[in-house]
Amino acid sequence: MDSLSRYLRIWLASARYSLVRATMFRGDLFIWASVELLWISVNVIMVAVIYSHTRSVAGWSMYEMLLLVGTSMLIQRFLMGFFWSGIFEMGRNVRSGLFDFVLAQPGDPLFMASTRKLELDGLLNAVVAAALVVYSVRKLGLHPGAGAIALYACMIACGVVIHYSALVIAMSLSFWITSSQGVEGSYFTLMEFSRLPREAFGRLTSILFVWVLPVVVVSNAPAREILHGFQPWWALGLLAATGAWLGLAVAVFRSGLRRYTSASS
């Protein structure tokens, strides 16, 4: 309990620093928040254009698809808000030797590296993504109870952990390779598939994007829970994927950390 309290105090200190930094550079905050909002708007407009020509895509109606897109965006905005900057800088700091600064801090290196900064623009647009989910649910005439909402929130958290783990694995490759820029681009390309329904994938692509890389599960599982109620297969699959990916991320990071020789070597 004391350890948990200590890490909470460390995180709160980092959060306060990030908020102060954001208020000092309000122009940057406004620009990046606008870019994030524009990206969400483009995805919503794309769905509207597609459904102006058809009533169903892979068995999903327009508002069901908007619910799926909003869920995917919500997970990604939480990832961007809470973890993206710290993990992204980790790869650059490993190459420059500045990762020594992380190792000197009073906490687990992975925790310290990935929670150094909050991005307020991502968290602000998480509200927009949540509003899109609520709008879609109301248009579908659904009335989820408190239990369903709590389960949906837990599934969203699992999705964030899976995204976080995949990003940690990608950036941990900096311990072995000179540049991880291509890896970063590949990560975002793969995560684009999370906005597609499970039924849109064929047999071979399902093996890759559902079973090997759970980019479809992270958004489809919580969206289906709202649409169709509790589905044990999806919930258990998401939980198992969360544990497996987090464990793999920690193992890869620690293995890479043993290779790090610091700036003074």
**Per-residue pLDDT, 1:** 61
**Per-residue pLDDT, 199:** 80
Q: What is the DSSP string of 155-177?
A: HHHHHHHHHHHHHHHHHHGGGTS
**Per-residue pLDDT, 181:** 62
Q: Is 184 within the bounds of a domain?
A: yes
Q: Is 30 within the bounds of a domain?
A: yes
Q: Is 265 within the bounds of a domain?
A: no
Q: Is 66 within the bounds of a domain?
A: yes
**Per-residue pLDDT, 235:** 85
189 φψ region: left (φ > 0), alpha (ψ -120 to 50), beta (else)? alpha
Q: Is 263 within the bounds of a domain?
A: no
| CA 182 to centroid of chain Cα atoms | 19
| Tens of pLDDT, residue by residue, the chain (265 residues) | 667 888 888 888 888 888 887 777 777 767 777 777 787 888 888 888 999 888 888 889 999 999 999 999 999 889 988 988 888 888 778 877 788 888 888 788 899 888 888 888 788 888 889 999 999 999 999 999 999 999 999 999 999 999 899 889 888 888 887 666 666 666 777 777 788 888 877 777 777 777 677 788 888 889 999 998 888 888 888 898 899 999 999 999 999 888 887 655 5
Q: Is 60 within the bounds of a domain?
A: yes
Domain range for 238 is 2-257
Q: Which two tokens stand for residue 23?
A: 């208020």
Q: Is 183 within the bounds of a domain?
A: yes
Q: Are 55 and 61 in contact (CB under 8 A)?
A: yes
Q: Is 120 within the bounds of a domain?
A: yes
For the chain, how many structural domains are there in total?
1
